[in-house]
Chain A
Amino acid sequence: MMEKERLRKADIFVSVLIFLFGAWIVKQAFKMPMKDSWGGVMNVWFVSPALFPLLVGTMVIILATLLCRTALKTVGTEELVRTIRWLLSRHVIQYLVSEPILRFYTIVILFLSLVYMNIPRIDFFLSSILFLIVFFTIFYFDDPVLLKKLLFLYLAGVMGFVIYFAAGLDSSLAKVLPYASDLLALWFILAYCFYAWILVRSNPKLRKKFRTSLVVAVSAPFICAPIFKYFLLVPLPAEGLIVALLDRIWYLEF
């Protein structure tokens, strides 16, 4: 949590957002049947599906107003003007590229790329290994310079994958080469690891961390995912190259 003074300043802006959100809820609720017929049922206000959203929206508006009032009272108009000036100045950009914020972006980018891009399209094992190896190398190394370099490489890879999937290359390539997307992901993992190794090879401490990261990143999905796949019989989101390989081993043995 932020410190009190900064929190109050932020509260002013957030309360405005919450107020708008409450107003949007109310607006949407008014579009719901209040007195008209829906599914053959004539509505009255107290049975209407709009009743509860209206209550929620109104309460959100009231509470947002109260929060704004409290925050404004604490901060004062002078300080608010100063904050707005700061928000419009160059300092904001400096703040937005500061290291903690960069770490936040990294985490969010990693999660977004995993959930919205890799998991539905690339073999679960490979997407998990990629996610973990990038996460470990960036955060376990704990070096701001390495963070930027590794993040840029990962971003470049993500952009490449976005173009690859958006252009529909995955389906056309799959006709020629089975598991094309998985092979591409595997290649990217190897390239990433190679780049990370080049960056840390002169530092024995980081080299050790790199080895640990590699072992954990590969072993963790091979421990967790088979529990879901083979013991709980949950089909994985995308089953590709590695799952096919594991299937062969599993059904050969048992």
Chain B
Amino acid sequence: MMLFERIGSYFEMVFHLASDPINVVVLFGSVLLGIIFGAMPGLTSTLGVALLTSLTYGMDTATAMVCLLAIYVGGTYGGSYASILVNIPGTAAAAATALDGYPLACKGEGGRAIGLSTTTSAIGTIIGMLFVVSISPIISHFALQFTSFEFFLLAFFGIVISGTLTSPDLVIKGWIAGFLGLFLACVGRDRLQFFPRFTFGIPELDSGIEVVPVLIGAFGIPQIIQVLKDRFQIGETQKFQKILPEFGTIVRNIPKIVRSALIGVGIGAVPGIGEDIAAWVSYGAAKNTSKNPERFGKGEYAGVLSAETANNACVGGAMIPLLNLGIPGSPPAVMLLGALMLHGVTPGPMITFEHPTFILEVASILLLASCAMWVSGMLLAKQVVKVLRIPPPLFMPIIGVLCIIGSYSLGINIFNLYLMLPVGIICYFLTEMGYPIAPLVIGVILGPMADENLRRALMVSQGSFLPVFTRPVSLILFILIVWTVVSQFQFFRDFKDRLGEKLRRKKRPDLSSMNKDLKHNTNRVAHNRQRRRQFS
């Protein structure tokens, strides 16, 4: 009965949102903007969400969420345009799409590839949305049992896992980035005793570092510097004819789509891991399970659909920990968290009590955004592709101006700009040195949560760490953290290999001893035969 009630209120919410003309205009506008951001190499959906956050400041929460989720969904999908038509991924999430999308475009099937990516992206988003609706109440209920120790460990786990999985070079660098983010979160007066930490007597730092300008700087400035310094050029786009929804291909590949969506949701739910990893894992899985793996990379439709379904399903997956635990599942979700805080919504286990319909609202917006994305993709793809002709030196400086006015407008504080620029330049150096940015920004976001909960937990336990081992969830999280860290070191891998070898030996009898036994038995048989002959 409760399920039907929930489904009923969900559709009620969908119609309520869709019946407001302002919402519809914002929805289509943001999706289109997202597609443009995604399509343009050098711009990402994270940057799109970051820049749009400043524009949503004056909107009510529902319209702001329509705006931000629509650009997130559109941006994740839009990356496929450049991947398919130019062989340059518009976003990292669409890198796997380029492997088969571009060969298809070269064969003259670019329109079909874009059609397929549009439909599968919409399906991926819808499947992700279904998980948001169905899993959220369970996680939320479960999270209500969490105490300060669990929240501290959860925040810590988020930083560690994000550092581990997003690092393009050594894992240590991912962790360092995470701890640098935690340091930034320490700046300002601490929330328990209001002691000023690392403020250097600057009054603007007393309230801590403003999250959104830091995020805009961290994602925007390095991107601008990289594109302009390295003379990034967009090549010639492949021509394409009609864009078809490719329902036939989709029906033939339903199991693959479901599997890709599940991969996307699962990876999206892991803190800090973005759409790019989901797309690659899904592509790998599709290739490994295919009857014709040799066709992948030469223009296989399954390659395009697996990557595109997974990266858009990741959007829904990233919403699950964001809404229920307050831990962002992907870099754009970090921005969404910042935006939600601006609008007075604090995601976490209490969200179902403080804003009972909020999760349903988010799920409804995801459904509407996927429909808007499908319509825009089918009708406007040819026009959107024209933005690929704009040279990067012409649009990147404008993004710079938008970063500046956007950071300033949040709080109308010029100090935000003074903060944003150094953070951006430092993040550029970190990126060049192979440090991922996602753990850093997650550290900035989760730092206060980790700090407060650690001290609160120790206050309750009078300085004892024993509850970490006596509380089941804490223990699981602790083991996960230790496992994630230790498993990255060579000594642990060697130990694991040796242990595995020993176990294998125990399971299978030793071959050398078997040979000895066999020899012994053969000798005995031969000896007996000889004796028998002698007797006879």
Contact residues of A with B, CB < 8 Å?
1-2, 4, 7, 10-11, 14, 18, 25, 28, 32-33, 38-39, 41, 43-49, 51-53, 55-57, 59-60, 63-64, 66-67, 70, 100, 103-104, 107-108, 111-112, 114-116, 119-120, 124, 128, 131-132, 135-136, 139-140, 142, 212-213, 216, 220-221, 224-225, 227-228, 232-237
Contact = CB atoms under 8 A, between A and B. Distances in A.
Interface string B459-480: 1001100000000000000000
Contacts of A103: 228-229, 231
A181 to B, nearest CB: 16
A116 B415 CA distance: 10
Contact of B401 (A38, A46, A64, A224): A224
Interface in B369-418: 391, 393-394, 396-398, 400-402, 404-405, 408-409, 412, 414, 417-418
Contact of A139 (B393, B408, B409, B451): B393
Contacts of B432: 1-2
B224 interface: yes
B231 A142 contact: yes
Contact of A216 (B58, B394, B412, B462): B394
Leading 7 A-B pairs by shortest Cβ distance? A46-B458, A135-B397, A139-B393, A49-B190, A49-B195, A52-B451, A140-B393
B393 A136 contact: yes
B250 interface: no
A91 B488 CA distance: 38
B510 interface: no
A131 B397 contact: yes
Interface in B157-211: 168-170, 172-173, 175-176, 179-180, 182-183, 186, 190, 192-195, 197-198
Contact of B179 (A10, A44, A51, A63): A63
A104 B396 CA distance: 14
What's the interface size class on B, roughly? 35 or more
B463 A46 contact: yes
B55 interface: yes
B433 A59 contact: no
A234 B54 CA distance: 10
A7 B433 CA distance: 6
Given A60-B180, A63-B175, A47 B458 contact: yes
Contact of A131 (B175, B183, B197, B400): B400
Contact of A119 (B190, B393, B402, B414): B414
Given A11-B433, A115-B404, A136-B394, A46 B186 contact: no
Chain A contact surface mostly: helix
A56 B198 CA distance: 13
B55 A232 contact: yes
A47 B192 contact: yes
A117 B408 CA distance: 15
Chain B contact surface mostly: helix
B183 A60 contact: yes
Contact of B58 (A56, A70, A232): A232
A225 B408 CA distance: 12
Given A38-B195, A49-B190, A131-B397, 14 more contacts: A11-B433, A39-B193, A46-B463, A52-B454, A60-B176, A64-B176, A70-B170, A70-B172, A100-B230, A140-B394, A142-B231, A216-B398, A224-B401, A224-B405
Contacts of A236: 405
B397 A132 contact: yes
20 contacts: A1-B431, A4-B169, A38-B195, A43-B193, A44-B463, A46-B458, A47-B193, A53-B186, A60-B179, A63-B172, A63-B179, A66-B172, A70-B172, A104-B225, A104-B229, A111-B400, A115-B421, A135-B393, A136-B397, A237-B417
Contact of B434 (A1, A43, A112, A116): A1
B398 A228 contact: no
A225 B397 contact: no
Contacts of B173: 67
B425 interface: yes
Contacts, number: 173
Contacts of A59: 175, 179
B176 A18 contact: yes
A139 B398 CA distance: 13
A121 to B, nearest CB: 11
A25 B176 CA distance: 14
A45 B454 contact: no
Given A53-B183, A53-B197, A119-B417, A224 B402 contact: yes
Contacts of B183: 25, 53, 56-57, 60
A220 B408 contact: no
Interface string B214-231: 000000010011001111
B412 A234 contact: yes
B391 A140 contact: yes
Most B CB contacts (10 A, CB to CB) among A46, A59, A227, A228 go to: A46
Nearest to B401: A128
Contact of A33 (B195, B401, B409): B195
Contacts of A25: 183
Contacts of B55: 227, 232
A225 B229 CA distance: 27
A174 B454 CA distance: 54
B10 interface: no
Interface string B436-468: 000000000000001100110011001100000
B528 to A, nearest CB: 62
Contacts of B146: none
Contacts of A232: 55, 57-58, 409
B175 A39 contact: no
Contact of B450 (A18, A46, A52, A119): A52
Nearest to A43: B193
Most A CB contacts (10 A, CB to CB) among B183, B425, B431, B450 go to: B183
Nearest to B180: A60
Contacts of B190: 49, 52
A14 B433 contact: yes
B414 A120 contact: yes
Contacts of B58: 232-233
Contacts of B168: 1
Nearest to A139: B393
A237 B420 CA distance: 15
Most B CB contacts (10 A, CB to CB) among A33, A114, A234, A235 go to: A234
